[in-house]
Amino acid sequence: MVIEGGQTTLYFGPWYRKSPFFDAAQRAGCYGYDLYNKMYIPSNFADSVEEYWHLVNHVTIWDVGCERQVEISGPDGYEFMEYLAPRDLSTCKVGQAKYVVLTDEQGGIVNDPVLTRLARNRFWLSTADSDVLLWAKGVSYHADFDVELREPDVSPMQIQGPKSKQVLRSLVGPRVLDMEYYHFLEATIDGIPVLVTRTGWSAEVGYEIYLRDGSRGTDLWDRVTDAGKPFNLRPTGPSEYRRIEAGILNYPSDINLEYNPYEAGLGWLVDLEKKHDFIGRTALKKIKKEGPKRKLVGVEVPGDEVVRPWLPHPWPVRKDGKEIGVLTALAISPRLKKNIGYAWVPTPLSILGTEIEIVTPAGPRRAIVVKRPFIDPKKDVPKS
């Protein structure tokens, strides 16, 4: 089976971890993988455009056990969490989830996890692909916080798509319908302990089911796929098309330690005046005052043919023959019928309508700076 966008063969060693859903996903026909947090993540079960339409019209199940959790607890758990994140968490209630960035002393982005607040002093950080446990453990040295940091036995799956509500109702009952966007509830499904959040990486209506017992992966997968049958549930990988349409960023390709939240358009996650001190405050204040020197912008490549299903590596961006930045994501949106993506450019070139050039392996192409997200900027779809 040819996988679009380039494929290689991977050495299959025990040093890559397997999610509790690995066997079930293999059985369901997964044939393409990514690696994320040193763990396999199923990326393809069928053609990626077909998977996209299924996500947008029906409901899909994703093995994202690779979203490893870092648990923060102990008497100073809340204070430590405030110290790690520039976002003001005083308004984050127990039972809520928040998208946060973690920053280093220079304001660089360490990770962009979804945080769940399980108790006053107890949090899970559902991490993107970089080791937040090492960061948090390092930071706790000499920091005078009484905290416990560990990776708990917790592995999420995502149930995404407009019919996900019905699937979840059938699994955990009607109370799930009352749950608001970025909130969670604790439940058991046939005796399997889980936490269900109304979050996801698709910007469709969606949920994540956090499995709390790694030995029950196949059981949970089977139970969910059974419940999903009447609603046409099928396994897919996370959709690169859908997340780019939605303006969702991917760590470490779109953002990483080299970039700060203001440049990445994530300034709304920084509360410079919040009560608690946090790592990176001084640097971020200065960056905000001076204004970011570069920006992550939306780009559109004119023409409706597929430039590349997704990027095999970042491509250079040029202006007037001079290299000025890098393209970090590109995919053809099946519904917009356009090649859309993100690029890092100097601030003066971030004005909407600016013409730039991306350097593809097949030669340079004209591209235009456009607004992102490309659809549903207010997130009405996932909130509905």
Partner 1 sequence: MIPGHTHDGVLTEATNDYAGPILPGFRETAWIQKSPYFHRAAKHGVRAYDLYNHMLMPGLYTDPVDEYWHLVKHVTLWDVGVERQVEIDGPDGFEFMQLLTPRDMQKCALGECKYVLLTTPEGGIINDPVLLRLGEDHFWLSLSDWDVIFWCKGVAVNAGLDVIVREPDVSPLQLQGPKSKDVMVALFGEEILDLEYYHLRETELDGIPLVITRTGWSAERGYELYLRDSKFGDRLWDAVMAAGAKHDIRPIAPSEIRRIEAGILNYSSDIMLDNNPYEVGLGWTVDEDKKSDYLGKASLARIKEEGVKRKLVGIEVEGSPLGAWIPDYWDVHSDSRKVGHITSLTYSPRLEKNIGYALLGIDYAKIGTRLRVSTTKGTRGATVVKKPFVDPKKDIPKS
Does residue 10 interact with partner 1 by CB under 8 A?
yes
Does residue 337 interact with partner 1 by CB under 8 A?
no
Does residue 9 interact with partner 1 by CB under 8 A?
yes
CA distance 241 to 331: 6
296 with 344: CB under 8 angstroms?
yes
Closest approach, Cβ 134 to partner 1, in A, equals 4
Pick 139 or 332: Cβ nearer partner 1: 139
Cis-peptide, bond into residue 75, ω within 30° of zero: no
Among 90, 94, 138, 286, binds partner 1 (CB under 8 A): 138
118 with 94: CB under 8 angstroms?
yes
Query: Strand, coil or helix: what is 212?
Result: coil
Among 279, 296, 367, 369, binds partner 1 (CB under 8 A): 279
Closest approach, Cβ 133 to partner 1, in A, equals 8
Q: Pick the closest to residue 72 from 128, 161, 152, 5 (CA basis).
A: 152
Residues 112-131 that bind partner 1 (CB under 8 A): 129-131
CA distance 375 to 384: 15
Under rule CB under 8 A, how many of the chain's residues touch partner 1? 54
Among 19, 25, 44, 269, binds partner 1 (CB under 8 A): 44
Among 312, 335, 347, 348, binds partner 1 (CB under 8 A): 312
- Give the dihedral sign, CA 209/215/216/221: positive
Does residue 38 interact with partner 1 by CB under 8 A?
yes
How do strand 315-319 and strand 102-103 relate by DSSP bridges? unpaired
Does residue 381 interact with partner 1 by CB under 8 A?
no
CA distance 158 to 62: 5
CA distance 238 to 201: 7
Which residues on neighbouring strands pair with residue 98, listed in sequence order? 115
Pick 251 or 374: Cβ nearer partner 1: 251
Closest approach, Cβ 38 to partner 1, in A, equals 7
Closest approach, Cβ 94 to partner 1, in A, equals 27
Does residue 361 interact with partner 1 by CB under 8 A?
no
Those residues whose C-beta lies under 8 Å from the C-beta of residue 47, and which sit 6 or more positions away, are none
Among 19, 239, 328, 339, binds partner 1 (CB under 8 A): 328
Query: Strand, coil or helix: what is 377?
Result: coil
Among 16, 146, 186, 302, binds partner 1 (CB under 8 A): 16
Q: Where does this chain touch partner 1 (CB under 8 A) — which range of 12-20, 85-93, 188-196, 286-294?
A: 12-20
Does residue 322 interact with partner 1 by CB under 8 A?
no
Pick 121 or 130: Cβ nearer partner 1: 130
Buried/exposed code over 50-87 (b: 16+ C-beta within 10 A; e: otherwise): ebbebbbebbbbbbbbbbbbbbbbbebbbbbbbbbbbb
- The residues binding partner 1 (CB under 8 A) are 1, 3, 5-16, 26, 31-35, 38, 40, 43-44, 104-105, 110, 129-132, 134-143, 250-253, 257, 279, 310-314, 328-329
